[in-house]
Structure 1
């Protein structure tokens, strides 16, 4: 378990799953989230992730992929089914809600 790899997907792979309405957890700060996020994503900042309980498979995203990887490792260690989204919102070219990204 100590050296278990964090499951991850690319932005393009996440984009292809949007029709299935996957659970997306955005771990950026609220001001970053309100500036533009993936429709349907839930915002729980990284600092509060330890008290979050995902329900089913959850895709975790941030701005670049670093915070989401940390969040994914934390939630994986608690036994949750989570997947890190590599590249983050800085690589996202799909539809967003909120401000301009």
Structure 2
């Protein structure tokens, strides 16, 4: 059963920064309080414990970020099972050097 070990593609935070000018879907899977503490403007907050409720028919490719990269990897596996093509952001917000915005 090699299906369990499907490789989730990943990119660096630097690569993500270069993609933000295009129309990408970025999911921040941290808790709402972490998200409010500072997030990437384009990111939509879908906490990991709610990831299975995410649905957006128009997006097949979704970028997933968390604080360090562990929760986003977990979320990416769930999203893959749901038919999305997730891309994990390695290092997460702890590696992010770009602009952040606080609040909702």
TM-score in terms of structure 1 length: 0.92
Displacement of 1:40 in angstroms is 1.5
Equivalent pairs, count: 99
Structure 1 residue runs without a partner (length 5+): none
Query: Structure 2: how far apart are the matches of 1:94 and 1:84?
Result: 17
Give the alignment of 1:13-92 within 5 angstroms: 13-54=15-56, 55-92=59-96
TM-score in terms of structure 2 length: 0.89
List structure 1 runs of 4+ shifted beyond 2 angstroms: none
Displacement of 1:48 in angstroms is 0.3
RMSD: 1.2
